[in-house]
Amino acid sequence: MSDKPNTDKPWGGRFTESTDAFVEAFTASVGFDQRLYRYDIAGSRAHARMLARVGVITDAECDAILGGLERIERDIEQGSFNWSVSLEDVHMNIEARLTALIGEAGKKLHTGRSRNDQVATDLRLYLRDQIKATCEELLRLQQGLLALAEREADTIMPGFTHLQVAMPVTFGHHMLAWFENLQRDRERLVDCLKRVNVMPLGAAALAGTSFPIDRHYTAQLLGFDAPAENSLDAVSDRDFVIEFCSCAALVLVHLSRFSEELILWASAQFNFIDLPDRFCTGSSIMPQKKNPDVPELVRGKSGRVVGHLVGLLTLMKGQPLAYNKDNQEDKEPLFDTVDTLLACLRAFADMVPALQVKANEMRAAAASGYSTATDLADYLVRRGVAFRDAHEIVGTAVRLGIESGRDLSEMALTELQSLSSVIEADVFDLLTLDGSVAARDHFGGTAPRQVHAAIARARERLA
């Protein structure tokens, strides 16, 4: 044995030449996949217990394996585990250490298993935890949005289309729009979890194993809903990673859009909100600056998550069944997606309840943009004018207002009546901002009464 090359490699038997040093580093994944150690050990524990149950290893061997794995887990957690690049990945590092610790029994752990089903299992166990953590952060952010919506249920702001003032809305209603986006994001993740929580173990390299394994038992030990139906699919499928990353990309796209609003609103030109100092930074040259770095960074970071999604789709598109080494490239984009997603959600969940809303400024902006023009048109329609004619009449009124620098509510009744004889003094109730939002009093509308009702429903949906 000793004059053979590659003696430290678990797969070294058929090799007559040592691995090239650069190739060893090039093919190794231990630098990044060691973060899967807890899941790798959990999978090995369950596999060993299953092997003992079906009589492939003895109970004593199983006990030795479990004891060794426990020691390894402790060493890794304490930072005293010696990771070796020449042992390629997290799986072989742990297995080699196990054998060094407990001898013969350690060598039996890999019976009826392959790194191909092992890595797919580790990744699914890892992702299961990350989906739960993501859902918790999403929930925290949603609760923050509800609290803010409740605080500002009556606060009037301009609603925009094309970034032009369109109609007045309530700030609470606007926050509830983001709540809905995030609710769908969370539902998507919960749904994704169903497809993640399926166990590849037992597929071995690709075709299953000749040992009498009990995959249902292993699945039960690991809390999987079921073993994967098809062994080839089990080791080659990474669409669960892609699905998660596409859910993550949507969350980040939503946070990016929300960020864009916060950045605009915090500018001197809008002046709708104040971001607390603790979420901003200053400029090294311009003493007056307070920059909205957190939303800007979230908007920026959404790009890399979208990029990872596209990278993973491209990674898969050329792969024939079953496992290919290409799949090792799934981990870094996935890990970075998880880290980025959790960090952005955390920043938002902390920041949103602390937003300071400038109600007077928002009201003034809504009042100066002819945002009640549609209300005037609706008023005319209720008095028998056809909508297209009403649109034309109000358009004329707006033009007169622009020419004379006045809002519709500042025009004289006689002036409005010269445009349409159906107009009476009660029109001014509608031309106010409060009248306009209060009138949109239906399910899903912006009236404060509806905002409170929507918040109550939202709380029930979260419960």
User: Which positions touch ligand ARG (CB under 6 A)?
Assistant: 29, 33, 89, 115-116, 119, 325, 327-328
Sequence-ordered list of residues with C-beta below 8 angstroms from that of 90, at least 6 positions apart, any chain = 29, 30, 33, 34, 36, 37, 40, 122
- Helix (H), strand (E), coil (C) string for the chain: CCCCCCCCCCCHHHCCCCCCHHHHHHHCCHHHHHHHHHHHHHHHHHHHHHHHHCCCCCHHHHHHHHHHHHHHHHHHHHCCCCCCHHHCCHHHHHHHHHHHHHCHHHHHCCCCCCHHHHHHHHHHHHHHHHHHHHHHHHHHHHHHHHHHHHHCCCCEEEEEECCEEEEEEEHHHHHHHHHHHHHHHHHHHHHHHHHHCEECCCCCCCCCCCCCCCHHHHHHHHCCCEECCCHHHHHHCCHHHHHHHHHHHHHHHHHHHHHHHHHHHHCCCCCCEECCHHHCECCCCCCCCCECHHHHHHHHHHHHHHHHHHHHHHHHHCCCCCCCHHHHHHHHHHHHHHHHHHHHHHHHHHHHHHCEECHHHHHHHHHCCCCCHHHHHHHHHHCCCCHHHHHHHHHHHHHHHHHHCCCHHHCCHHHHHHHCCCCCCCHHHHHCHHHHHHHCCCCCCCCHHHHHHHHHHHHHHHC
Respond yes or no: is residue 216 known to be catalytic: no
Cβ closest to ligand ARG, residue 204 vs residue 250: 204
Cβ closest to ligand ARG, residue 18 vs residue 417: 18
Cβ closest to ligand ARG, residue 119 vs residue 397: 119
In whole angstroms, how close is the CB of 264 to ligand ARG at the nearest point? 43
Strands 164-170 vs 156-161: parallel, antiparallel or unpaired: antiparallel
Respond yes or no: is residue 162 known to be catalytic: yes
In whole angstroms, how close is the CB of 9 to ligand ARG at the nearest point? 12
Q: Tell me the C-alpha distance between 212 and 348, whole Å.
A: 50
Cβ proximity of 73 and 34 under 8 Å: no
Cβ closest to ligand ARG, residue 33 vs residue 61: 33
Cβ proximity of 6 and 18 under 8 Å: yes
Cβ closest to ligand ARG, residue 84 vs residue 220: 84
In whole angstroms, how close is the CB of 195 to ligand ARG at the nearest point? 20
Cβ closest to ligand ARG, residue 23 vs residue 54: 23
Question: Tokens standing for 173?
Answer: 């209603």
In whole angstroms, how close is the CB of 244 to ligand ARG at the nearest point? 17
In whole angstroms, how close is the CB of 356 to ligand ARG at the nearest point? 47
Q: Tell me the C-alpha distance between 197 and 224, whole Å.
A: 5
Catalytic residue among 29, 84, 114, 162: 162
In whole angstroms, how close is the CB of 321 to ligand ARG at the nearest point? 14
Is the sign of the CA dihedral 201, 249, 145, 140 positive or negative?
A: positive
Strand partners, 157: 169
Cβ closest to ligand ARG, residue 41 vs residue 377: 41
In whole angstroms, how close is the CB of 315 to ligand ARG at the nearest point? 11
In whole angstroms, how close is the CB of 237 to ligand ARG at the nearest point? 13
In whole angstroms, how close is the CB of 140 to ligand ARG at the nearest point? 32
Cβ closest to ligand ARG, residue 33 vs residue 243: 33
Is the omega angle on the peptide bond into residue 322 within 30 degrees of 0, that is, cis?
A: yes
Cβ closest to ligand ARG, residue 81 vs residue 171: 81
Catalytic residue among 267, 283, 368, 418: 283
Catalytic residues: 162, 283
